[in-house]
Amino acid sequence: MTTDDEDPRPGDPADAPLPPPDAQSGGSGPEHPAAPETPAGQLRLGSSLPWEEASAAAPALGWRSVLGRGLDLNVAAAHHVRGASIRMGLLVLAAAGPLVIILLAIVQRLNALGELDGAVLDQRQVMVAIDAASGPIVIAFMIGFYCLAALSVDSQLLAVSLIASTATGRAFELRSALQLVRMRFWRLLRANLLIAVILLVPRSIVEGLIAPSGVVSESQFVALTLLGVVLSVPFAYVSAWIILGAVGARESVRRSWQLVRARPSLAVVIAIVNVIVQTLAAFALGAGADLLSRFGAALGLDRAEGLSLFLPLGAILALGVVAAGSLLLTIAALTAAPQVVAFLGLSGPDYGLDALRDPDNPFAPPHREPFVTRAMKVALVVEAIVAALAVRALV
């Protein structure tokens, strides 16, 4: 009987537990080969030793080497990142576009577009405006947020797979990588939920002490950012373990903590990179939204009504959503690179990338996984239909 965390799958030999060292099993099998010597200034990526021994025998990895190698991997994988990012942006548009149209319909019904700049709408006005379409609105937003959450998990897994393939010299094929991503999807989702539960109480307590009123000043923002770095350190290698080590959610959290204890400084660097990249992306999105709003005001959209409002403003918002959606994978690749470099240098296992390979038929053509799953297609179609019903009831 297997647990939900292990979730073994046919044809995925990497899901089997790691073999213990011969010294622990008491067997007389062959000794593990020694770890390859690493020239000074170079990183050792991959090892034939079990990951516990490889971690102990790994050469001292400097944070400069990890960051430099991570940037090199991002440059080498830029072509694949760009292509996948554009597709991810279009999928985000398909998921968020109906929600944006609903918001525009609510604004049109309130007839308050010219008063939105710096003003706060009365909550009673909004509730009266959406009362006729409250059901479809709630359903559309639930489906939309589900799709966006799924795309976020896909982006994390795809970025780790892409960067790791580049680091280990494997050829990257998007459709085959997507099949691996789909196999690992629920594991990373469960791991993220587990991490959220673990951090719920300490994060709430510390945030309540730092910003008890809920209003964050500049100093409090810095303190909350440092808090995010500290709390994310133990989970620095979770997604790498799921993709490269082919383990379940709970096991990925446990092994991530063990790697962090082996080299705490690298985990801190990974956490800092994650927070910095995500913070810069948030500022970039804010600046982009401000630029789009100024562009719309220059076109006189603050005085437009009906189709003269929806068509140009919808086109502007669509471009903004695609740009924001394409950042999902770009940010994921930037944050995954140091994690992958440190993971491979410390532990070695990368057999999770070979889960789809058939050892009995190495020349078999790769399976072409569709970019959009059937469940996602159904969800997007239902969301679009429900959003159309909501807009019809609002306008």
pLDDT digits (tens, 9 = 90+) for 175-225: 888 888 888 999 999 999 998 888 888 777 877 777 666 656 667 777 777
Distance CA 92, CA 324 (A): 8
Q: Residue range 84-112: average pLDDT?
A: 84
Comparing 40 with 369, the larger pLDDT belongs to 369
- In the predicted structure, residue 149 carries a pLDDT above the cut 60: yes
Could you tell me which of 272, 84, 236 has the C-alpha nearest to residue 166?
A: 84
Greatest mean pLDDT among 34-38, 42-46, 313-317, 354-358 lies in: 313-317
**pLDDT tens readout for residues 266-322:** 888 888 888 888 777 777 777 767 776 776 666 666 565 656 666 777 777 888 888
**pLDDT tens readout for residues 23-32:** 333 333 334 3
Q: Residue range 238-264: average pLDDT?
A: 88
The answer to whether the beta carbons of residues 160 and 240 sit under 8 Å apart is yes
Which pLDDT does position 9 carry in this prediction?
42
- In the predicted structure, residue 262 carries a pLDDT above the cut 60: yes
Distance CA 297, CA 295 (A): 5
The answer to whether the beta carbons of residues 194 and 177 sit under 8 Å apart is no
Q: Which residues contact 123 (CB under 8 A, 6 or more apart)?
A: none
Measured on CA atoms in the order 188, 193, 198, 202, is the torsion positive or negative?
positive
Amino acid making up residue 379? A
> What percentage of residues in the chain have a pLDDT greater than 70?
69
Find the distance separating the first CA and the last CA of the chain, reported in whole Å: 55
Measured on CA atoms in the order 358, 364, 368, 373, is the torsion positive or negative?
negative
Which pLDDT does position 139 carry in this prediction?
93
118 phi-psi bin (left φ>0, alpha ψ -120 to 50, beta other): left
Q: Residue range 14-20: average pLDDT?
A: 41
Comparing 116 with 190, the larger pLDDT belongs to 190
Distance CA 282, CA 276 (A): 10
- In the predicted structure, residue 141 carries a pLDDT above the cut 90: yes
Which pLDDT does position 45 carry in this prediction?
47
- What is the average pLDDT value for the chain, to the nearest integer? 75
